[in-house]
Chains A and B, each alone.
Chain A
């Protein structure tokens, strides 16, 4: 196999299946941004620290700058663009808005995707769990405090919605 051999990948992104021939060195984040045009996932570093590129891969938060597109072949990716459903913001998006959990907004998509993974694992996290759970995402604007507040608020809202659904009061 020569170095410029492309590899066929099939990746489901935000529900839609995409198939492309890609260079092996293409990173998942570049696949999302440059091939699919989903520019909501950002690149903030080149050493796997900042977390701006965080997406869900098969339901788990990963740094898409440290995953080759070929590694994600056959996988299912959720990006920030896939979070709002039927034009309705996800509770995390609502909470970041309401609690001023963002300023410049650059870290926000990755931060929200990490928070989503955190809440999937810990539906009722305390402050320390949230702070530790967001260790992989840097923010330079907010000092993190309003992000923590937003995640707490979203958690409460998601638990309430789940309880309501369990009680038979689920909406859609």
Chain B
């Protein structure tokens, strides 16, 4: 991109960087939004899915006769027919030596996890489809299941796929620096085994899809509750054997995603295929109970960590083995997610050596994939638990150990041992601001006094950096991505002077209509209210790479900004022509909220942007080399990722009698570079904190040894309510990103990444004097209590 793009300053502008009311909200607060389930089309059929009750079984036969004869049932499809309807499910990431068994949207002859789709029934009403699905008789011959990834890797373990020995899907090594030297020099080796438990994403809107094939032309429109309409557009036509020019994907209002809607699911393929087959619209809406078994899960790693540490608390090197339980097969990005962990394993610290192996293991469970943070929370959790353990073992203060290991503010751009280049940062600055807010010494005194009374108070810290702004396409491809990382934006001004923005991002709660309007209103000098943002429909926004990985502001927002500037430049050339001045002599200025061009030194010689737009469309008087119309499109491919960071602290009280953990304070100082809208940034942080705290204290998927899912609904899977969470105290430091002209970094996952280890560190701090060294998440009362009992029994405590 050859445009001279000046960086925007960090301070708020007229609209950019300020709080404005969201444009999305009027429809959402009045119940007039349009989610997939709200869509009703004439002749629409309803699909229900028959799912496996077994973790691992051979299908001995399927009797669809009764189902087919039920009132309203129009079609029943099983694995036998599925190959005629569509191709196998794609894997969007490649790794060296990756085992990627062929998986169709319906099981062919064997089921490999509870909830795997075995058949679908299409009927005239949701009730008829449910009744029909219940009437499908499937014969199963149960097979031994494997649910523990470490056991799965052993010789002789049951195989999830017969041609994948030891159930190992991939090994991904990553190393840098001289690890042998680090351990030679170490005064101490600190070891940890951590379980980063499996989670269910639970966006409040379950998944859903409506597919409408035109019975004559075969054109297919597919509405899906998805984060990635454009990626679906790239994948679905090939699977359904329809030219992509005849496929339109729409993501209407989407009720949250958190990564789980960054995928191509069996039901999307099947709804499309069945609509094409039957010539009628087909709708499928996920029941929440299905979500727990048929939508991807997140996390699920076992980390064996060894750190070489000097006597003064410096981490000289980390050696780790990461066993990632990826479930029964690959969803779209399953192989990628665990490989992100080692890249972020040096975190905010200047760690000179790293040696990590990631082992991805198949088990008889729901596949894992991206869930808020996607591989980075796992790295931060590992590292922040490690730093606290180092401090504890050396008798040092955890804050001091962090300081000693920090990358310093004057070291940026900083090349990490894992091969990344951090764009900018001031980790100590964020920590200092955090400490100002919490009165650390005061708390330590309070903690001592409380212990005298038998009360258990603890404080935990977490300092983190994450990788956002996905992604420079070249690097993305080198890592294994099947797609690029750019984003596109079109900005156009109507003859009447109103602005339309078309973005390739696909928001599902983030508020891009608001944020992108702010960017454009600021850049063009138009009213915030006069900007419309269109997204999530491939017929309207043909090019884009959608919304995930905190990429939208840094990549999509930048594309919007650059398209605005490009359009303004075109307008400037027309303005110069109209004003009979040279282009270099014409300046853009916003006066009274209105963008206009004037001749340098002669502000009275001006035309407004609206006047220029009108001139561009009448085209009566344009320069010879300028086309009519007022529209600019930019494809922006970032040169680097962005690296937001922050410092969090949490104060907890633990009830020694029942193990309950109460968060007394949670303070977060985050730095996501410049901000477009502080209120939206704060909202993202709040939501992220809630999800990160939920992992620390409440949520966790439990399978029994036979692979039965014991946490299969909101009854048994504990998503926290308002009464379970504290009020957060949030603040920011601002270290602009030099990677993009907006100076933004991204904030969607920050809270989730920072908070999980922070809470666990606080609980361990409260119990450390009793001899508790670690508790695996979620820190439910029963586990905390058991850890206290165990520590007492082994006499591991120190005097309070």
A binds B: yes
> Which residues of A pack against B, CB within 8 Å?
23, 25, 33, 37-47, 49-50, 52, 79-81, 83-84, 89, 93, 96-98, 100, 102-109, 112, 127, 130-132, 134-148
Q: Contact partner of A98 among B21, B38, B687, CB < 8 A? A: B21
Q: Contact partner of B722 among A33, A41, A135, CB < 8 A? A: A135
**In the complex, what residue of chain B is closest to A138 when comparing beta carbons?**
B719
- Identify 30 residue pairs between A and B in the complex whose beta-carbon atoms are under 8 Å apart, listed by A's number: A25-B127, A33-B38, A40-B31, A40-B33, A41-B31, A42-B205, A45-B713, A46-B287, A47-B289, A49-B715, A50-B714, A80-B29, A80-B31, A102-B28, A103-B510, A103-B687, A105-B33, A105-B253, A134-B722, A135-B722, A138-B204, A140-B691, A142-B683, A142-B687, A143-B690, A144-B721, A145-B725, A145-B727, A145-B728, A148-B727
Most chain B beta carbons < 10 A, residue from A40, A106, A143 = A143
B690 touching A103, Cβ below 8 Å: no
B687 touching A141, Cβ below 8 Å: yes
**In the complex, what residue of chain A is closest to B287 when comparing beta carbons?**
A46
B725 touching A144, Cβ below 8 Å: yes
Q: With A100-B680, A103-B683, A140-B691 in contact, do A135 and B509 touch (Cβ < 8 Å)?
A: no
Which residues of chain B come closer than 8 Å to A46, judged between CB atoms?
287-289, 713
B213 at interface, CB cutoff 8 A: no
Q: Contact partner of B30 among A93, A134, A141, CB < 8 A? A: A93
B532 at interface, CB cutoff 8 A: no
A40 touching B30, Cβ below 8 Å: yes
**Separation in Å of the B786 CB from the closest CB of chain A?**
27
Known interface pairs A44-B288, A100-B680; 15 further A-B residue pairs with C-beta atoms within 8 A, sorted by A's residue number: A37-B40, A38-B31, A39-B37, A42-B255, A44-B205, A46-B713, A89-B30, A98-B21, A102-B25, A104-B255, A109-B31, A131-B721, A140-B204, A145-B686, A145-B728
B679 at interface, CB cutoff 8 A: yes
10 interchain residue pairs of minimum CB distance: A40-B31, A106-B255, A105-B28, A104-B509, A143-B686, A143-B690, A80-B31, A103-B509, A45-B288, A39-B38
Q: Contact partner of B37 among A43, A49, A108, A137, CB < 8 A? A: A43
- What string of 1s and 0s marks CB contacts (under 8 Å) between B466-485 and chain A? 00000000000000000000
B29 touching A96, Cβ below 8 Å: yes
**Separation in Å of the B685 CB from the closest CB of chain A?**
8
A40 to B25, CA, bound (A): 13
Q: With A23-B127, A98-B21, A104-B254 in contact, do A146 and B29 touch (Cβ < 8 Å)?
A: no
Instruction: Give the contact-size bracket for chain B.
Output: 35 or more
A139 touching B204, Cβ below 8 Å: yes
Which residues of chain A come closer than 8 Å to B25, judged between CB atoms?
96-97, 102, 105
B520 at interface, CB cutoff 8 A: no
A98 to B683, CA, bound (A): 12
A136 to B719, CA, bound (A): 12
**Interface residue ranges of B663-694 to A (CB < 8 Å):** 679-680, 682-683, 686-691
B311 at interface, CB cutoff 8 A: no
B203 at interface, CB cutoff 8 A: yes
**In the complex, what residue of chain B is closest to A52 when comparing beta carbons?**
B204
Q: What DSSP secondary structure best describes chain A's contact surface?
A: loop
A100 touching B683, Cβ below 8 Å: yes
**Separation in Å of the A155 CB from the closest CB of chain B?**
15
Which residues of chain B come closer than 8 Å to A105, judged between CB atoms?
24-25, 27-29, 33, 253, 255, 509
> Which residues of B pack against A, CB within 8 Å?
21-22, 24-35, 37-38, 40, 127, 202-206, 253-256, 258, 285, 287-289, 508-511, 679-680, 682-683, 686-691, 713-715, 719, 721-723, 725, 727-728, 751
A81 touching B30, Cβ below 8 Å: yes
**Separation in Å of the B505 CB from the closest CB of chain A?**
15
B679 touching A100, Cβ below 8 Å: yes
Q: Contact partner of B256 among A43, A100, A103, CB < 8 A? A: A103
A38 to B30, CA, bound (A): 11
Which residues of chain A come closer than 8 Å to B288, judged between CB atoms?
44-47, 50
B21 touching A144, Cβ below 8 Å: no
Q: With A102-B28, A104-B255, A106-B255 in contact, do A142 and B686 touch (Cβ < 8 Å)?
A: yes
A141 touching B509, Cβ below 8 Å: yes
B31 touching A79, Cβ below 8 Å: yes
Which residues of chain B come closer than 8 Å to A43, judged between CB atoms?
37, 285
**In the complex, what residue of chain A is closest to B508 when comparing beta carbons?**
A104
A151 to B306, CA, bound (A): 48
Which residues of chain B come closer than 8 Å to A143, judged between CB atoms?
686-690, 725, 728, 751
Q: Contact partner of A47 among B202, B258, B690, B713, CB < 8 A? A: B713
**In the complex, what residue of chain A is closest to B201 when comparing beta carbons?**
A140
**Separation in Å of the B676 CB from the closest CB of chain A?**
14
A62 to B793, CA, bound (A): 48
Which residues of chain B come closer than 8 Å to A102, judged between CB atoms?
25, 28-29
**In the complex, what residue of chain B is closest to A40 when comparing beta carbons?**
B31
A115 to B40, CA, bound (A): 29
**In the complex, what residue of chain B is closest to A80 when comparing beta carbons?**
B31
A106 touching B687, Cβ below 8 Å: no
Which residues of chain A come closer than 8 Å to B751, judged between CB atoms?
143
**In the complex, what residue of chain B is closest to A136 when comparing beta carbons?**
B721
Q: With A84-B30, A106-B35, A109-B31 in contact, do A140 and B202 touch (Cβ < 8 Å)?
A: yes
Most chain A beta carbons < 10 A, residue from B25, B722, B727 = B722
Which residues of chain A come closer than 8 Å to B688, judged between CB atoms?
143
A102 to B24, CA, bound (A): 10
**Separation in Å of the B36 CB from the closest CB of chain A?**
11
A104 touching B714, Cβ below 8 Å: no
B721 touching A134, Cβ below 8 Å: yes
Q: Contact partner of B29 among A108, A135, A148, CB < 8 A? A: A108
B715 touching A47, Cβ below 8 Å: yes
**In the complex, what residue of chain A is closest to B680 when comparing beta carbons?**
A100
Which residues of chain B come closer than 8 Å to A23, judged between CB atoms?
127
**In the complex, what residue of chain B is closest to A144 when comparing beta carbons?**
B722
Q: With A108-B29, A146-B686 in contact, do A138 and B721 touch (Cβ < 8 Å)?
A: yes
**In the complex, what residue of chain A is closest to B507 when comparing beta carbons?**
A104
**Separation in Å of the B511 CB from the closest CB of chain A?**
7
Which residues of chain A come closer than 8 Å to B723, judged between CB atoms?
131-132, 134-135
**In the complex, what residue of chain A is closest to B34 when comparing beta carbons?**
A39
**Separation in Å of the A15 CB from the closest CB of chain B?**
15
